[in-house]
Structure 1
């Protein structure tokens, strides 16, 4: 399976230079650096210096000190389709008897299975989870979830494959980099032209990968600032071999499609952040187009997705508490005909986890991705402290 990433990034012409004189106000150099990083990544100081007109050492210093150490994070955009993995979301409602074990159970699944994220939604009580799964295993995975219902671990669940998903970089036009604060007015919020990375679920292909490709992508997913030499040292791989895999496989085969620049709040940010799941049920494809335009403009939207089968739209936002009421009012006003289908939940940060791409289910010696229902149940039995099934 191949996810197509479409970047609407306007790259500079070969002869153009974004000079300091053209910026016009304090902090604009940091804004331009953030825009350049979306194209070139956080390690390509030479290319960033060329398009911004800043000396290489200045670029290196500003990225490290004025961006990365002040709450700006750079994430690689993993093309899960090139790994043979489709994207699914799940809503899991645990039974009262096992609710206290929910985080431990999901954590064990994520470390050994295809799950890459879970978070409890308040006040719903259910968990939102994401799995990156080979499509051929979807039926088996549903049987596994049915087994958890039969065991009394889950009260109910829903699972849907995403028709599309978009990842957003921060709206640099709404952020004051010099003072590290958000500066915009909800009543006059302009339309966003920020670059959008789009994953299309129909882009399915047989993966051409090995374990080292996955390790490289996973390490960069955890820390996009790692150099190739640092990667080779951490993985215990000879430098030239790792460099070949990085260039020919990870980049050449489109496993990494680009970079996403996000604001996480720096160490001086003492105000609370609110993580929100906005869910719309019963949306037609045309209605989903209307909703996604609204959430694209919101500066705090990290990603959104839609499932045509279940007619559900989902957006994930990280909102400073001081902007929460403004964000809720904005969506309420912007979607007068669809606001009744809108439902908000807050992510409990103490009961949420993110993980790198799946590693353990991949077995080179046995032809790639593997999934065994009984083996998965046994993982949970270890947490539940009950007798195992024979695999």
Structure 2
């Protein structure tokens, strides 16, 4: 018996953090709200639609947002509150399907091919979800409905805010054809420029290149580009993804030299270790083998160094020693200053793959950073 065609919904909350703030403080409604701490080293977490009309966007330096919109109201983020609202929304999703794949606190994929509610179509399900979100949280959400994940995600952006856009299976090719290739997942500015050099500006342009030609030029990614151009995406909605990395990072009040980072690395390693212990309580069989040190220079260059071992970090002290030791592999001039440091563990594996007698971080076990 052939598998049922997938029915995927991508739900994206509208200016989520800013909308929560406007909901909870009526004086903020209709005004340009920027969720961020003020200061030279802060970035924008979210901006209300009123602030966006001035060009304010997420991840923008807060000082630039203030220049663009001097009348903006800056509100410090409250992630505890945002997570509580996100849980409410997740409960609404799960009334309709068990296949919910959160991408962040404010967006998720839902596979409603087999739905828990007796609604006749995926469109009706998306309408019901949006109505429930509005009624139960006093917030709005936009949604895209399509036969696969990436088309649904693009569609959810078409009627923002508070909109619904449906792409039926027979309409996928026509829907994608006029879109800039930059709308395809994984096509960033660098790839977009490389494609432009080949005369490829739109999805329809991309279709004029044979798959083998794209694969010769871009390797496996070329094959993926060809699939996306024709609306092909077989990735399923995965309701529970295993943790890939546990991390903590911090931006300093003033830039520091590499030699001054040890106490900050130790502090962040302690936070990472606490998160790792919570993960082990939930999944005792998943042990981390890789330690990662992340740095951001004063000129915003980001670099990481990592070490993967036959053993594993067995204590907080092991983690601190490994993370601090990775400073030796940074390779930048000693006068370089850093505005951010982070510590992470990753490379989760089955514990039976470990030899408990292997010395942690044995010589020759380092991976290239």
TM over 0.5: same fold?
no
- Please report the TM-score for the alignment, with normalisation by the length of structure 1: 0.23
| Max Rg structure | 2
Q: Which has the higher strand share?
A: 1
Q: Relative contact order (C-alpha < 8 Å, sep 6+): which is higher? A: 1
